Amino acid sequence: MFYAPKNTPAQARTTTLNEELGQVEYVFSDKTGTLTENVMIFNKCSINGKTYGYSYDENGQCVPKSPSNKVDFSYNHLADPKFSFYDKTLVEAVKSEDPLVYLFFLCLSLCHTVMSEEKVEGELVYQAQSPDEGALVTASRNFGFVFHSRTPETITVIEMGRVRVYRLLAILDFSNERKRMSVIVQTPEDRVMLFCKGADTIIYELLHPSCAALSDVTMDQLDDFASEGLRTLMVAYRELDKAFFQTWIKKHGEAWLTLENREKKLALVYEEIERDLVLLGATAIEDKLQSGVPETIVTLNKAKIKIWVLTGDKQETAVNIAYSCRIFKDEMDAVFMVEGTDRETVLEELRTARKKMKPESLLESDPINIYLARKSKMPFKAVDEVPNGSYGLVISGCSLAYALESNTEFELLRTACMCKGVVCCRMTPLQKAQVVDLVKRYKKVVTLAIGDGANDIGMIKAAHIGVGISGQEGMQATLSSDFSFCQFRYLQRLLLVHGRWSYNRMCKFLSYFFYKNFAFTLVHFWYAFFNGFSAQTVYDIWFITFYNLIYTSLPILGLSLFEKDVNETWSLCYPELYEPGQHNLYFNKKEFIKCLLHGIYSSFVLFFVPMGTVFNSERSDGKDISDFQSFSLLVQTTLIWVMTMQIALSTTYWTMINHAFTWGSLGLYFCILFLLCSDGLCLMFPSVFNFLGVARNGLNQPQMWLCLVLSSVLCLIPLMGYNFLKPILWPINVDKVLNRIHFCLKHPLPPPVQIKVKHPGLRRSAYAFSHKQGFGALITSGKTLKSRAFTRR
């Protein structure tokens, strides 16, 4: 998780949440700077059925993009030096003055609402309503069609070094319903032209029948663009008859001046002129996501981790990013939009969505509704409800303000939690924290929030785990987080590898810790029946001191540091392995009871097998060995041996340190034992060391070693039998995945052949979902319509 470009490693700013990283069910993410780099890049385009944007070598073969084959724009002194393109054939087409290529870039340089500013001569600065428009105007600028300036009545464009002024006759502005915008201009040659750009699905319906063949080719190319995650739009034009324009302009004036249903009447007037368009081509913009974001989200979804995007950005941009990131998919049954401006409307929209996802959830007989009807004040955990399909939810900040009220918040939670992906847009920092807290209070699951800016601090602190992205917005989020790194894609490694390993290690540690102490302590319960309940201990006082401090501490420490049931590659290949942590399957009340029962059984064996061994026993020379000290030595030696075997069976990943800790601790026990029973210590301090010669005399008897082996076998058989039968008789999903992994390790498969698969339903229009109502009226100072008839120059 080291990010080389910034020389920044990942940082763990806390050491108390490692195991919770393996239990996350909900991830709340910011958008800008977290999922994206907030950079739009003109990546490819299609003009007259020909695709531009791929890099080719001298032999015409497609090659990966590299700085060596970058297009040289030095011929254009107004080009933006930050712009990069790798297909030289498009520059050649522009220089050859191909008429369709000319019209394509002319449309991009005229059909927009960008404002320009020239602070220094030759250095233009664009202020765009959306990053998409900025990217398109910058692209046309670099290819020789430089949008220079505008007034309410004109647009000045420098075309291949020639200054040309176009008279702006009308702006047919963008809206969410139209999903397109058009401009009508009068050229210096006195031609009236309409240029239009917009969502491909909309423009396709407005084309002239003669463009049918070209449109089919272009739509196939758009499928290719969409499969690469690019945001697309279509570009078209129409040359207008002057008499037709004169008639239309009067209708437009009447619609513009009306007071009732102005927007609807304007839309009808726009439709009269935006038809029979001639297709020029299409553009493909890369909404610069951080590297690996879609793959990371798909992987996390496979691990049953739900991802909610909480952003302050506008709805259309957030939705488009959600599709690009694969939070939303076109295969979904529906994506619900909650846009109500009052509590009743928001509540109705949420219930309508829930009715479609799970109709029975609205019935009075639904268990949750029954519980809510009681108005109980007891703590309530919202159970997972399974919808009848795959759905997404989009809710705006205005609607969220009503949805987060105390009497509607649970309705929001039920609806949102049934969706595969949730996007909350136009949110305040407080609302982000409230949404995280809502899930924490009702779902009782581990949550994680990730962001990069100061506005994300609230949700980072509200979540169980906060992750900060070291990005472009300072260090505030990083300083408030529990973990930090530079790229969103590192989240899958943090959770699926380190988080899962930490959870598994902690669960094994706790199980072993309770088991070894149950077995150690409960031996005294059985001994109490033989010592007259006198509270005499079975073990030597030094053994009691060293048991947890030395003898059993290092082996479990080695397991807790290095244990891996599968390596990191398999952990990422099979995200399903993450599921046990979400349901806390490896250590819960049931597992605790198992540890207790296993400890009781082991203590029974550890007491009665040595008791039977030494009872009325004699050495080979006829001397009695059924004394307390010999019995104590045998019990404690058997206990240490069983605990060592137990930790060895629990370890699946052996390192040299594990071997040294496990077997070294066993050897260390015998070394300390012989030291404590040595003549020197016992004679020097007889009141402290009173087991003189017991180790030497006891461990040279064969029945002692037979007892050791028999006790170990009896203690380990139940564990081995349970571990063998459990995946067969009571398998869980993880057991099946582990079986597949073990099979793959024994029978490696050949590498899969990469096949290009088209996804015809994945086109997303950059323009149609990038911004709301356009700024056309503002640009023309309310004079979108030119009331005067244009005059021939």
Catalytic residues: 30
Q: Which residue has the tokens 């064969």?
A: 702
Distance CA 538, CA 200 (A): 83
- The strand pairing partners of 307, in sequence order, are 27, 421
Separation CA 607–CA 88 (nearest Å): 85
> Which two structure tokens, joined as six digits, stand for 521?
């302590």
**Token code pair at residue 33:** 């700077």
Tokens encoding 585: 């399957």
CA–centroid distance for 687 within its chain: 64
Q: How is residue 241 annotated by DSSP?
A: P
The DSSP letter of residue 498 is I
Answer whether 388's CB lies under 8 Å from 416's CB. Answer: no
Nearest CA among 456, 489, 483, 444 for reference residue 584: 444
**The tokens of 661 are what?**
């800790």
Which helix H or strand E contains 91, and what residues bound it?
helix 88-95
Eight-state DSSP code of residue 494:
I
Place of tokens 């309940």: 533
Q: How far is CA 296 from the centre of its chain?
A: 6
CB proximity list for 553: less than 8 A, separation 6 or greater: 665
Task: State how far the Cα of 550 lies from the Cα of 664, in Å rounded to an integer.
Answer: 11
H-run or E-run covering 72: none
b/e string for 302-315 if b means 16 or more Cβ within 10 A? ebebbbbbbbbbbb
Distance separating alpha carbons of residues 472 and 18, to the nearest angstrom: 27
Contact partners, residue 110, CB within 8 Å, separation at least 6? 147, 155, 157, 166, 183, 185, 195
| DSSP codes, 389-413 | S-EEEEEEHHHHHHHTSTTTHHHHH
**Centroid of chain to Cα 434:** 20
Overall residue count recorded for the chain in this entry: 793
Distance CA 146, CA 109 (A): 7
b/e code 1-38 from CB counts within 10 Å (16+ = b): beeeeeebebeeeeeebbbbbbbbbbbbbbbbbbbbbb
**DSSP state letter for 682:** H
H or E element, residue 317: helix 315-324
Instruction: Classify residue 550 as left (phi > 0), alpha (psi -120 to 50) or beta.
Output: alpha
Helix ranges restricted to H, 563-655: 568-573, 579-582, 589-614, 628-650
CB atoms within 10 A of CB 223: 16
Tokens of 763: 């086109």
Q: What are phi and psi of 511, to 5 degrees?
A: -60, -45
Residue 777 and residue 237: Cα distance in Å, rounded? 21
With H, G, I as helix, E, B as strand and everything else as coil, classify residue 486: coil
Give dist(CA 474, CA 483) in Å, integer: 16
With tokens 């894609």, the residue in question is: 489
* Number of other residues whose CB lies within 10 A of the CB of residue 704: 21
Structure-block tokens of residue 12: 């763990």
In sequence order, the 6+-apart residues with CB closer than 8 A to the CB of 619 are: 625, 701
- Tell me which long-range contacts 568-573 makes (C-beta under 8 A, separation of at least 24): 568/493, 568/497, 570/741, 571/496, 571/497, 571/500, 571/501, 572/299, 572/492, 572/493, 572/496, 572/497
